[in-house]
């Protein structure tokens, strides 16, 4: 598929490679209710997420990811166009988003808008963009917890996708964050 933008992934995952429990619970990632809210990087920061969001032109995510993000008290993507892939969400469900019925429709809209760098979020959505060759870089943050089972962001791929390591950072609390470029 030909697109004018590059997809970028920024995912938190358990050490065993899951992005959410099977019931979509993320409390192990966000610190849960007992932990007093989301964790920080030990210096009051957000593990580079704010800097990452500032570097992108738009976001595209799946319906499941949108359902987790939409009720947050503070919308984390202020000023960024947000595109959601969903076959069931009404087009006027939320004034903060644009709904696309298919992957191709979303890619066409992102390309037509002239975006250069698009944040791709959500397991199935990341998988679709990877298979289509539309991901240019991945930042994967491994949270020091094993959850045993859950949703993976990658799934079965038709061929290996070679990556080139760019950098790895460690944070207080044990999170390890690595960034890779997709080799073409």
Which domains occur in the chain, in start order?
6-182 (3.40.430.10)
Confidence grade of residue 87 (pLDDT, cut at 50, 70, 90): very high
- Residue 18 CB-half CA count within 13 A: 18
Higher pLDDT, 170 or 33: 170
The residue ranking higher by pLDDT, 115 or 73, is 115
More confident position, 39 or 64: 64
Would the pLDDT of 100 be above 90?
A: yes
Tell me what pLDDT residue 136 has.
97
> How would residue 29 be classed by pLDDT, with cut points 50, 70 and 90?
confident
The predicted pLDDT at position 38 comes to: 45
Quote the pLDDT of residue 35: 38
Contact call for residues 121 and 127 (beta carbons, < 8 A): no
pLDDT band at 37 (very low <50, low <70, confident <90, very high): very low
pTM: 0.89
pLDDT at residue number 4 = 85
User: Quick check: helix, strand or coil at residue 108?
Assistant: helix
Percent of the chain with pLDDT over 70: 90
Q: What is the mean pLDDT of residues 58-76?
A: 91
Minimal CA–CA distance to 76: which of 119, 44, 110, 41? 119
Q: What are the strands of the beta sheet with 6-14, ordered from one edge? A: 97-100, 82-85, 58-62, 117-121, 6-14, 135-143, 176-182, 163-170
For residues 31 and 159, the answer to whether their CB atoms sit within 8 Å is no
Tell me what the mean pLDDT of segment 31-53 comes to.
63
Question: Has residue 16 got a pLDDT over 70?
Answer: yes
Q: Given this model, what pLDDT does residue 163 score?
A: 98
The pLDDT of residue 40 is 55
Task: Say how many C-beta atoms besides its own lie within 10 A of residue 154's C-beta.
Answer: 16
pLDDT of 184 over the 90 cut = no
Which of 8, 9, 32, 10 minimizes the C-alpha distance to 147?
32
């Amino acid at each position: 598929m030909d697109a004018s933008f590059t997809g970028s992934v920024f995912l938190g995952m358990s050490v065993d490679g899951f992005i959410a429990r099977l019931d979509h619970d993320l409390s192990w990632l966000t610190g849960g209710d007992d932990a007093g809210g989301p964790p920080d990087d030990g210096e009051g920061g957000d593990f580079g997420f704010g800097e990452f969001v500032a570097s992108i032109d738009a976001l595209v995510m799946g319906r499941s990811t949108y359902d987790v993000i939409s009720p947050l008290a503070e919308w984390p993507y202020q000023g960024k166009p947000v595109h959601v892939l969903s076959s069931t969400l009404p087009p006027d469900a939320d004034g903060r988003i644009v709904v696309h019925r298919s992957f191709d429709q979303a890619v066409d809209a992102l390309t037509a808008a002239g975006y250069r760098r698009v944040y791709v979020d959500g397991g199935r959505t990341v998988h679709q963009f990877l298979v289509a060759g539309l991901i240019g870089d991945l930042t994967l943050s491994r949270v020091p917890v094993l959850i045993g089972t859950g949703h993976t962001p990658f799934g079965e791929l038709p061929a290996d996708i070679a990556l080139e390591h760019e950098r790895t950072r460690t944070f207080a609390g044990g999170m390890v964050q690595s960034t890779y470029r997709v080799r073409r």
